């Protein structure tokens, strides 16, 4: 074998080769750990978080969400869009997308191949939510994100809620995404920024549908100084909820804390009980019994806000809400609705901040407006009708559904007055529980019989605004509108801002 061959068989050579192999394996595993998780790495029970990012913002948001989920013990993994295998996507069950638009409507470099992979692929077993980042100064706002949403829907995937678009990393838009995520999933959704609420006064509260077969719906009126009356039709009120006093006292007692202990936190001085009413309370208070009052509060995050469509415009001098009261399986009230409809005292302050909602902003008043909704979706529709009446913009058509005419015809007198005044040219009501015989009818069932007139209104430039529940009404309405106008025309109306939805 010669000297070279003899050396290869020597102990020294074997030792050198072993060290080289070990170093190579170390480098490989370190390198692999530094790479973003590929779809083949995803465990079957993980939440999948996919992102497409050019300047790093979408990736930063995805990393923050991943960190929060993993810290709470939730299995989750993150992958760039281009590395997402469609077979794994089809099998994961639920996925979340954070997608930037680059330049004039282009895809980021790490998302360029994704759309082509979806062609002809069946994703009917997938539920998803999508956050689209963009900048309204550019012509094609959030175009790539919306293209991803359209492709996912076209492949049969079901959206947990409408895509949320974010203009220049706007805090309000990001909070809307977090709240939508919390409403649709079991994931906690802390605010992106520390809440900066204003104090409004709860001036009036009234159940609008006593004896209804559905859950109670409450009309709330909030008052504030004139300088705070600043919003537009379609905007959202973010409410800082609180736990009822009885729940806080029971939690304090179980943890051995004294509720009257004065605490100053972030320049706010109040009893421990009041501070805790705004914070998330873990199920096992005894585990935190060793903490003093200040440390206890610092360990507990603030309650996430709750969002409600504003049902009035500023010239009315008040902020109106229409809130459905929800009960949990154990009979307790939902956090936000329970606070507003049951626990908050009349005359006391409520913590409120206004979020602009450009995706549901008022259309051009020179053209007709078709308003479609159900339930507490009447809130957003009513604000638009008030705005149209305020500037004497006629050519408005309302199609609305609820359970019974006797109990659930929200704001019927006001709507009748608008008809008399010529603000509303046409009103179609439908009440699902009033059907004496046959199948119940819903909002979407109003559309086909009115198809010809709907087409005439749209041909005259009408916008279509939908407000209400995503499950049932909004999806069925979208399906019927797609049949009546064709998917391509409905997409064109969306791109023109003439088909808008505020659904939840």
The tokens describing 237, both together, are 């009120």
- Are 385 and 371 in contact by the 8 Å Cβ rule? The answer is yes
CB atoms inside a 10 Å sphere around CB 487: 13
For residue 437, name the pLDDT band (cuts at 50, 70, 90).
Answer: low
Collapsed DSSP state (helix, strand, coil) of residue 431: strand
pLDDT at 485 over 70: yes
The tokens describing 317, both together, are 């001098």
The tokens describing 416, both together, are 């009748």
DSSP 35-100: SPPPGGG--TTSEEEEEE-SSSHHHHHHHHHHHHHHHTT--EEEEEGGG--HHHHHHHSEEEEEEE
Tell the residue number behind the tokens 């906690």, with chain if given.
188
The residues near 205 (Cβ < 8 Å, ≥ 6 apart) are 218, 219, 220, 221, 340, 341, 346
Taking CA atoms, 3 is separated from 8, 18, 153, 216, in Å, by: 9, 20, 68, 93
Q: What is the pLDDT of residues 3-17, one digit of tens each?
A: 444 544 455 544 444
Torsions phi, psi for 105 (to 5 deg):
90, 15
Q: What is the pLDDT of residues 88-118, one digit of tens each?
A: 788 788 899 999 997 778 888 788 889 988 8
Alpha carbons within 13 A on the beta-carbon side of 389: 23
In angstroms, rounded to a whole number, what is the distance separating the alpha carbons of residues 348 and 352? 13
In angstroms, rounded to a whole number, what is the distance separating the alpha carbons of residues 442 and 260? 52
DSSP bridge pairs for 333: 327
Mean pLDDT of 452-478: 93
The residues near 439 (Cβ < 8 Å, ≥ 6 apart) are none
* Cα diameter, the chain: 109
Mean pLDDT of 416-436: 93
Mean pLDDT of 373-387: 97
Taking CA atoms, 170 is separated from 133, 183, 333, in Å, by: 10, 20, 32
* Burial (CB count within 10 angstroms: exposed 0-12, middle 13-18, buried 19+), residue 161: buried
- Are 129 and 160 in contact by the 8 Å Cβ rule? The answer is yes
Instruction: Indicate if the alpha-carbon torsion angle 252, 255, 260, 262 is positive or negative.
Output: negative
pLDDT at 79 over 50: yes
Lowest mean pLDDT among 26-30, 41-45, 293-297, 414-418: 26-30
Q: What is the pLDDT of residues 244-285, one digit of tens each?
A: 999 999 999 998 889 899 998 878 889 999 999 999 898 888
The tokens describing 121, both together, are 């692929």
Q: Characterize the bridge pairing of strands 306-309 and 236-240.
A: antiparallel
Q: Characterize the bridge pairing of strands 127-134 and 164-167.
A: parallel
The closest alpha carbon to 206, from 502, 411, 383, 9, belongs to 411
The tokens describing 296, both together, are 């206890």
Average pLDDT, the chain: 86
In angstroms, rounded to a whole number, what is the distance separating the alpha carbons of residues 487 and 500? 15
The residues near 187 (Cβ < 8 Å, ≥ 6 apart) are 47, 69, 74, 181
CB atoms inside a 10 Å sphere around CB 409: 18
Tell the residue number behind the tokens 């009230």, with chain if given.
333
pLDDT at 357 over 90: no
In angstroms, rounded to a whole number, what is the distance separating the alpha carbons of residues 84 and 327? 39
pLDDT at 27 over 70: no
3-state secondary structure 196-242: CCEEEEEEEEEECCCCCCCCCEEEEEEECCHHHCCCCCCCEEEEECC
Lowest mean pLDDT among 86-95, 122-131, 197-206, 210-219: 86-95
Residue 24: per-residue pLDDT: 46
Torsions phi, psi for 417 (to 5 deg):
-65, -40
> What percent of the chain clears pLDDT 90, i.e. is strictly above it?
54
pLDDT at 296 over 60: yes
In angstroms, rounded to a whole number, what is the distance separating the alpha carbons of residues 291 and 477? 53
Across 341-492, where does the E strand assignment appear?
349-355, 369-374, 396-402, 424-431, 463-468
The closest alpha carbon to 217, from 341, 352, 306, belongs to 341
DSSP bridge pairs for 252: none
- Are 106 and 144 in contact by the 8 Å Cβ rule? The answer is yes
Q: Integer distance in angstroms from the first to the last C-alpha of the chain?
A: 78
């Amino acid at each position: 074998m010669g000297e070279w061959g003899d050396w290869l068989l020597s102990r020294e050579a074997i030792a050198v080769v072993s060290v080289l192999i070990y170093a190579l394996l170390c480098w490989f595993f370190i390198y692999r750990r530094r790479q973003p998780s590929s779809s083949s790495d995803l465990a079957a029970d993980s939440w999948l978080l996919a992102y497409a990012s050019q300047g790093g913002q979408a990736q930063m948001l995805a990393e923050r969400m991943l960190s929060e989920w993993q810290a709470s013990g939730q299995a989750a993994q993150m992958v760039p869009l281009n590395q997402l295998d469609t077979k794994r996507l089809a099998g994961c069950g639920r996925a979340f997308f954070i997608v930037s638009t680059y330049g004039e409507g282009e895809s980021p470099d790490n998302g360029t191949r994704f759309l082509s992979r979806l062609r002809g692929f069946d994703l009917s077993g997938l539920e998803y939510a999508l956050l689209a980042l963009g900048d309204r100064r550019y012509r094609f706002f959030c175009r790539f994100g919306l293209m991803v949403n359209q492709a996912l829907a076209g492949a049969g995937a079901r959206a947990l809620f409408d895509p949320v678009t974010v203009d220049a990393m706007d805090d309000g838009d990001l909070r809307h995404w977090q709240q939508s995520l919390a409403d649709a999933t079991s994931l906690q959704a802390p605010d992106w920024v520390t809440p900066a609420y204003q104090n409004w006064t709860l001036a009036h509260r009234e159940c609008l549908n006593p004896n209804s077969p559905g859950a109670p719906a409450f009309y709330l009126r909030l008052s504030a100084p004139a300088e705070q009356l600043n919003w537009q039709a379609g905007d959202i009120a973010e409410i800082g909820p609180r736990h009822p006093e009885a729940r806080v006292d029971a939690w304090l007692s179980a943890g051995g804390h004294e509720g009257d202990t004065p605490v100053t936190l972030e320049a706010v001085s109040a009893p421990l009980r009041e501070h805790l009413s705004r914070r998330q309370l873990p199920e096992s208070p005894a585990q935190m019994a060793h903490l003093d009052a200040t440390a206890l509060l610092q360990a507990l995050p603030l309650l996430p806000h709750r969002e409600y469509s504003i049902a009035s415009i500023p010239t009315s001098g008040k902020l109106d809400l229409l809130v459905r009261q929800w009960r949990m399986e154990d009979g307790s009230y939902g956090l936000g609705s329970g606070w507003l409809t049951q626990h908050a005292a009349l005359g006391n302050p409520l913590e409120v901040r206004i979020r602009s909602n450009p995706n549901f902003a008022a259309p051009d008043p020179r053209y007709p407006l078709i308003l479609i909704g159900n339930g507490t979706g009447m809130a957003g529709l009513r604000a638009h009708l008030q705005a149209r009446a305020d500037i004497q913009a006629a050519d408005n058509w309302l199609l609305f559904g609820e359970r019974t005419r006797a109990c659930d015809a929200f704001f019927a007198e006001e709507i009748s007055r608008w008809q008399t005044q010529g603000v509303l040219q046409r009103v179609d009501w439908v009440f699902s529980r009033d059907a004496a015989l046959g199948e119940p009818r819903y909002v979407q069932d109003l559309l086909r019989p009115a198809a010809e007139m709907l087409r005439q209104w749209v041909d005259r430039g009408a916008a279509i605004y939908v407000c209400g529940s995503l499950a049932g009404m909004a999806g069925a309405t979208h399906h019927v509108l797609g049949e009546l106008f064709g998917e391509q025309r409905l997409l064109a109306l969306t791109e023109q801002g003439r088909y808008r939805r505020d659904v939840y």
